[in-house]
Amino acid sequence: MRRTSIAFLAFALASCGEQANPRIEISDAWARETGAGQNTGAAYATIENTGGADDELLAVTTDRATMPMLHSSESVNGVSRMRMLQSLSLPADGTVELRPGGIHIMMEGLKSPLKAGETFEVTFRFKQSGELVVPVKVEAAGAR
């Protein structure tokens, strides 16, 4: 009896172990075109965690900006302000959308303007899933 329980426990633990991995997919990564002289831009993407465990986005890096960071635009009493996020939780089986007017990658210290039609790379670093390099497409400023 005792042996059965242990075996069952071992089996349960093993199957947990199999499921307990986040699986991250990033889609629709885009940035808004910027003008000459603008030192900041914003990039957006949809981050899906199809795995059975939580993950966390810890950092974003890119060659195109000296200080890219995760930001969230918030509106209180009609006043909008940006708040820096230290990290972004990605719950198991969940989707987090980085979108205009919400959470976004603030590309502080743009080295050159983002031109509509071009693509640049952003590296997303996750707590569990390591790094993912994603091509980000620059869209016309008025596109969406």
Partner 1 sequence: MLVKLRFILWALVGVAALAGIWIALKPPAELPSTAEMPLDTIGGPFTLTGSDGQSFNSAGLNGKGTAIFFGFTHCPDVCPTTLARLSKLRKQAGGDDAFNIVFVSVDPERDTPADVGRYAELFNTPVIGLTGSVADIERVKKQFGVYSAKAPLPNGDYSVDHTSTVFLMDRNGKFVATLAPEEGEQVALEKLKRIAA
Site of interaction with partner 1 (CB under 8 A): 32-42, 66-67, 69, 71, 73, 75-82, 84, 100-101, 104, 106-109, 140-144
Residue placing its CB nearer to partner 1 in the complex, 19 or 39: 39
Reference 64, options 117, 123, 116; nearest CA is 123
CA 133-138-141 angle, to 5 degrees, is: 145
Q: How far is the CB of 104 from partner 1 (least distance, A)?
A: 5
Shortest separation between residue 142's beta carbon and partner 1, angstroms: 4
The distance of closest approach from Cβ of residue 82 to partner 1 in the complex, given in angstroms and rounded to an integer, is: 5
Q: How far is the CB of 138 from partner 1 (least distance, A)?
A: 12
Identify which of residues 101 and 135 has a Cβ nearer to partner 1 in the complex. 101
Nearer to partner 1 by Cβ, of 26 and 98: the residue is 98
Query: Which one, 17 or 35, has the nearer CB to partner 1?
Result: 35
